[in-house]
Amino acid sequence: MGSGLPWAAWGGHHRVIGSGDTKGGYPTPITPLQPPPPSTPSSQHPPMERGCGMDTSEPGSAAEEEEEKALGEQRPRTRSNPEGAEDRALSAQTSVGNRSEGEGEAASADDSPQSTAAPDGTAWPGPAHPAEVQVKTPRVNCPEKVIICLDLAEEMALPKLESFNGSKTNALNISQKMIEMFVRTKHKIDKSHEFALVVVNNDATWLSGFTSDPREVCSCLYDLETVVCKSFNLEGLFNLIQQKIELPVTENVQTIPPPYVVRTILVLGRPGCQPQFSASEQMKKMLQCPYFFFDVVYIHNGAEEKEDETSWKELYAFFSSLDAKGTNYKYEVALTGPAVELHNCMAKLLAHPLQRPFQTHAAYSLLEGDEPPEAEATV
């Protein structure tokens, strides 16, 4: 976490940017082509018509060797030229954020990120390797059906988050505000997006059906009460989603854009609660569908309660293990941190799931190497 996102990003940017590969510095500049040696009278040809692209140099000539040598070198990589421009086809190394590495597509399990760095630099416990799935999809801004799942466990009502004015607030209040801003901003980007609201306590309840009117969703978002939750029935949540949606089917996944995609955003705030989950074949099929996405914003106690430190990391790793395609986004926020971190996570989820890169390849600074600015937000 830790990277602050300027609040202006809520209203302007719908896509995230794949970070460029800056390791190792820039390649050697291209050597200019040397002019070919003057031709002998016997090898001269009549002038060619304008626009003819035929090569008049003899095989094995010095000009041809110089040209092949120059084509073998890449142009420097910059923010405006992140993949070597037209030289990308000659590159033996895939660029970060490149389409072939999973931007807006499912990739193999070996290519997808399997672990995420912890705030202290250590790695999260690695999840079990999911089944290998590799499906490329068109990078299109088709309509989204967004299912927002809000946790109503009692931990969401604890006043532990630091508000913008320095006072303490609870995660439920901040989550309600950030969800409303998310829905209204997505609606401004594309009015064909639809939203549904689900509340999660001991069971999952479908509170608001799919609608493209943000006011209908926001009218159900407030005046919600938290309850004591002894378990987290994730299987019941998935079963409810399966009853309410129909995943699109296309004749050719790689070339034909889907009529819509389905994305579930789970805002969960109960640390140390292992979910009840048994993956059926139908559930596996849904998770592996190239048009279904399951994003998670996980709110936990962090380092405040040491006995919960291992359990929340295990739960975070469990959500990573559900990502068979490597296309889901997962964020964790500590209750001991500032409330702006929650807003930043939700702002990063504005990107269309078919157009965003792998989460580990996403960059949110305007220039490479820039330090993230101090987080500022107003509500």
Q: Which domains does the chain have, with CATH numbers?
A: 9-16+143-363 (3.40.50.410)
Report the pLDDT averaged over residues 49-70: 48
pLDDT in tens, 275-318: 888 888 888 999 999 999 999 999 988 765 555 555 788 888 89
Q: Quickly state the pLDDT bin for 273 (edges 50, 70, 90).
A: confident
- pLDDT at res. 79: 39
Report the pLDDT averaged over residues 19-26: 41
17 backbone dihedrals φ, ψ, rounded to 5°: -110, 130
Report the pLDDT averaged over residues 317-342: 91
Report the pLDDT averaged over residues 4-16: 45
Compute CA 309 distance to the chain's CA centroid, rounded to the nearest angstrom. 26
343 backbone dihedrals φ, ψ, rounded to 5°: -65, -40
Q: Judge whether 47 and 218 are in contact, CB under 8 Å.
A: no
pLDDT in tens, 220-243: 999 999 999 888 899 999 999 999
pLDDT in tens, 141-180: 999 999 999 999 999 999 988 888 888 999 999 999 999 9
**pLDDT over 70 percentage in the chain:** 59
Instruction: Give yes or no for residue 71 having a pLDDT over 70.
Output: no
Q: Quickly state the pLDDT bin for 360 (edges 50, 70, 90).
A: confident
363 CB neighbour count, 10 Å cutoff: 19
- As given in the structure block, the two tokens for residue 328 are 């889901």
pLDDT averaged over every residue in the chain: 73
Predicted TM-score (pTM) of this structure:
0.65
State the number of CA atoms in the 13 A half-sphere of 255 facing the CB: 2
Q: Quickly state the pLDDT bin for 45 (edges 50, 70, 90).
A: very low
Report the pLDDT averaged over residues 355-360: 91
Q: Quickly state the pLDDT bin for 10 (edges 50, 70, 90).
A: low
Q: Quickly state the pLDDT bin for 363 (edges 50, 70, 90).
A: confident
Q: Judge whether 305 and 264 are in contact, CB under 8 Å.
A: no
- As given in the structure block, the two tokens for residue 82 are 């992140």
- pLDDT at res. 279: 82
Instruction: Give yes or no for residue 368 having a pLDDT over 60.
Output: yes
Q: Which of 311, 299, 376, 307 is nearest to 344 (CA)?
A: 376
